[in-house]
Structure 1
Amino acid sequence: MQAVCHVSTYIARSPEAVYVFASDPRNLPQWAAGLARSDVCPSGEDWMVDAPFGRVTIRFARTNEFGVMDHDVTLDSGVTFHNPMRVVPNGEGSEFIFTLFRRDDMTEDQFDADRQAVEADLASLKALLEAKPESDA
């Protein structure tokens, strides 16, 4: 069993608006610095991007009505990491949840740094979406 940490943030936007923006891989460079340092390019059903840890392939869950944005990140080495991600209604807005698993080869400090990177990405997403009018989010 792996250690797990659920990182979440409230976003004062509808779940639909959050989902539409956050589920589009082309928007990752605007808010997910922990994953996307360059434009995200389509490659069949996958997406290619330069991440802080090298070139990766990303495969997102198919578009759905449940707010599920799970995605697999595959490194050049062929190792794949599954990343559960959701947006759910919370009052007048949304709760955005990322589930972070501690890999077997991670130290506690590395896991903490990974959590902090996810928290920073979610803070960026929140600030970006809340700065836009709801109709533009």
Structure 2
Amino acid sequence: MDSYPLLNLFWTMLWFFLWIMWLFLLFKIVSDIFRDDDLSGWGKAGWLLVALLLPFIGVLVYVIVRGKSMGQRDIRQAQARNAAFKAYVREAAGTEKGGHVDDLAKLAELKDRGALTDEEYQRAKTKLLV
């Protein structure tokens, strides 16, 4: 039973965890290299070769040199996805500026204030909904 002591198990698990963490970082860096619009094709090829041929040093150098801009690209991409999602929701719900919901609310308000008669309100409402 003592052929593999608890401390050795701890060190094995630690090295395994660090290796998995490094793999995640390597995939993140490779995806960031291809996502970056500021890098030319040769720049992308160069960073990719450094990251893949000198894996540990290449990953560390990339994080040191381009880590801040990598975070900024992540933030821009998340903001763009969020804006696209919100635009889709607004479009699907019909609440775009000048959309039918806003126009109907304005018509109802005009009718409530007495600026429109029932007949004018119905005509405008039919025109909006058709």
Q: What is the TM-score with the length of structure 1 in the denominator?
A: 0.28
Q: Which has the higher contact order (CA 8 A, sep 6+)?
A: 1
The structure where helix makes up a greater share of residues is 2
Q: What is the TM-score with the length of structure 2 in the denominator?
A: 0.29
The structure where strand makes up a greater share of residues is 1
The structure whose Rg is larger is 2
